[in-house]
Amino acid sequence: MPTDPVYDPVSPESHENPYPAYERLRDEFPLYYVEAHDVWALSRYADVKQGLRDWDLFSSAQGVELGTYVQFFGPGSIQELDPPHHDVLRKVLAPRFLNRRIKEYEGMVRSSARELIREFQGETEVDLARQFTQKLPILTIFRILGIPESDIPWTMQTGLEMLNRPPGESGPSPRAHELRSELVDYMVDQVQGRRGGDYPDDVFGDIAQAIDAGIMQVHEIQGLTLLLIAAGMETTTSLMGTIVHSLATGQVRREELRDIHGDLPAGAIDEFLRFDAPAQWLSRVTTRETEIHGVTLPVGSRVLMIFASANRDPREFDNADRLILTRDGSRNLAFGEGVHFCLGMPLARLEARAGMAELISAMPDFGLAGQPHRYPSHVIRGYENLLVTVRAS
Ligand code: HEM
């Protein structure tokens, strides 16, 4: 074992650029013990994929983050439940998030994108992270949940502040806990107000119906709704930020980001996800003793599944450190694998395909104006600001 830590998931170095450490992990320490946090890390594609598939050995029931972020969302968060109860609650949400049903929201996603673009159109300098990529996913998920328009500004601000994670911190602040309680009270009121039949066509309505049918309990509203907000907001924001950044720096040309309908091609979206996974890693806890790479892990070991490292594994992808928009990167693990595979994938893809197409056609040319900063998070890799100068077309 090396004397200096090879990798620390919450260090400033990992926040800045974790990829050199991932390469060392994959090549030299495919199962690595991070002493500072008492966690193990899996970094190769085959190991992460296999681990995620084996939910019985690698359990989510003791939370999937680190430190006191574990189980922050509370009861009902399907991400932190194992089957069979996981499957029962996932089915409450699943029908609305199917690809076929999500396509019905395309008009809403496009008009939400245009609504945001109108607010800055005509300006010569725009922060596309704060004014677009951070707002579109929240607006979209809140509209699908059923949050009344008048409450969207407050819920948006509260949600964003609650999820703020300073680098080096492995736990939420007292303020984050306060905001969490405020949001939970609000969501519970929204669901309770929809109970008793005649359910509206929104997620709160779906949950109200499931409670009335005895499928889920009132105390599970908190975890299920907070998870949807967190999972729907930060990750998609981060994907779109990476795309905007690549355009603003000239790393990709806008012609590469248009299919025959003028939308972002699915393959390009896959490649951005592979290249810089929005959720870098999540963890599991072993339910029995197991041996990996010659090391015996005791029961109760927390193991990080580093999606972002798996996606750069040269054992799986040729030229893994290069962004190649024409490659087939669809087997990347950015949306996870197995029973917890991302429920929101069709929505995330819709937002990236249609929302970004709206932005690109409204802003024919822009370049980076200043150094962008990344989100103060150790799990989510995305941009907090992306100031651009708009060039005349
Ligand atoms: C680019 C955008 C997104 C990425 C990269 C992403 C990534 C992920 C990953 C890696 C997981 C697996 C978690 C685990 O194994 O523990 C997951 C689960 C989940 N995602 Fe996403 N996500 C995205 C967008 C969304 C959106 C837009 C929504 C919803 C509205 C959403 C809702 C969920 C939910 C509810 C789960 C938990 C599923 C379960 O435990 O059964 N995600 N996501």
Q: What is the pLDDT of residues 266-283, one digit of tens each?
A: 999 999 999 999 999 999
Q: What pLDDT score does 376 carry? A: 79
Name which residue sits closest to atom 7 of ligand 1, judged by CA. 335
355 lines ligand 1 (CB under 6 A): no
Q: What pLDDT is attached to residue 157?
A: 86
CB of 76 sitting under 6 A from ligand 1:
no
- 3-state per-residue secondary structure call for 337-390: CHHHCCCCHHHHHHHHHHHHHHHHHHCCCEEECCCCCECCCCCECCECCCEEEE
Collapse the DSSP code of 3 into the 3-class scheme (helix H, G, I; strand E, B; otherwise coil) and give the result.
Answer: coil
336 Cβ inside 6 Å of ligand 1? yes
Which residue's alpha carbon is at the smallest distance from atom 2 of ligand 1? 236
CA of 123 relative to ligand 1 center, distance in Å: 34
Q: How far is the CA of 334 from the centre of ligand 1 (A)?
A: 9
- Confidence at residue 166, expressed as pLDDT on a 0 to 100 scale: 59
Task: Give me the percent of the chain exceeding a pLDDT of 70.
Answer: 96
Report residue 356: phi and psi, to 5°: -70, -35
Is the pLDDT at 170 greater than 60, yes or no?
no
Phi/psi for 247 (5° steps) reads -75, -45
Before 278, cis peptide (omega within 30)? no
Average pLDDT, the chain: 93
Strand, helix or coil for residue 304: strand
Tens digits of per-residue pLDDT, 137-168? 989 999 999 999 999 989 988 987 887 665 55
| Fold of the domain spanning 12-390 | Cytochrome p450 (1.10.630)
Mutation choice for ligand 1 from 62, 234, 235, 239, CB with most ligand atoms inside 8 A: 235
Confidence band (pLDDT; 50, 70, 90) for 174? confident
Dist CA 182 CA 203 (whole Å): 19
| pLDDT, tens digit, 9 for 90 and up, residues 189-233 | 999 999 998 999 999 999 999 999 999 999 999 999 999 988 888
> Is the model's pLDDT at 107 over the cut of 70?
yes
Tell me, in angstroms, the distance from the centre of ligand 1 to residue 217's CA: 22
Cα dihedral: 72, 73, 76, 78 (round 10):
-90
User: Poorest-confidence range of 61-65, 283-287, 312-316?
Assistant: 61-65
Q: Is the CB of 235 under 6 A from ligand 1?
A: yes
Of 51, 124, 55, the residue nearest 392 (C-alpha) = 124
CA-proximal residue: ligand 1, atom 1 (nearest): 236
Q: Which atom of ligand 1 is nearest to the CA of 277?
A: 5
Minimum CA distance residue for ligand 1 atom 14: 340
Is there an atom of ligand 1 within 6 Å of 359 CB? no
* Centre of ligand 1 from the C-alpha of residue 344, in Å: 6
Centre of ligand 1 to C-alpha 370, Å, is: 31
CA 179 to chain centre: 20
Instruction: Report CA(186)–ligand 1 centroid distance (Å).
Output: 23
The domain ranges of the chain are: 12-390
In sequence order, what are the residues at sequence separation of 6 or more whose Cβ sits closer than 8 angstroms to the Cβ of residue 268? Answer: 256, 257, 325
| Alpha carbon of 244 to ligand 1 centroid (Å) | 21
Can you tell me the mean pLDDT for 23-30? 98
Report which of residues 174 and 247 the model is more confident about: 247
48 lines ligand 1 (CB under 6 A): no
Task: Decide if 287 contacts 61 (C-beta within 8 A).
Answer: no
**Tell me: the pLDDT tens digits for 345-355?**
999 999 999 99
* Pairing status of strand 31-34 against strand 295-297: unpaired
Neighbours of 393 (CB within 10 A): 6
Question: pLDDT by residue (tens digit) across 76-85?
Answer: 999 999 999 9
pTM: 0.95
**Ligand 1: distance of its center to the CA of 224 in Å?**
12
Q: Which two tokens stand for residue 384?
A: 């907090």
Of 122 and 67, the structure prediction assigns the larger pLDDT to 122
Which ligand 1 atom sits closest to the C-alpha of 305?
15
H or E stretch including 237? helix 221-248
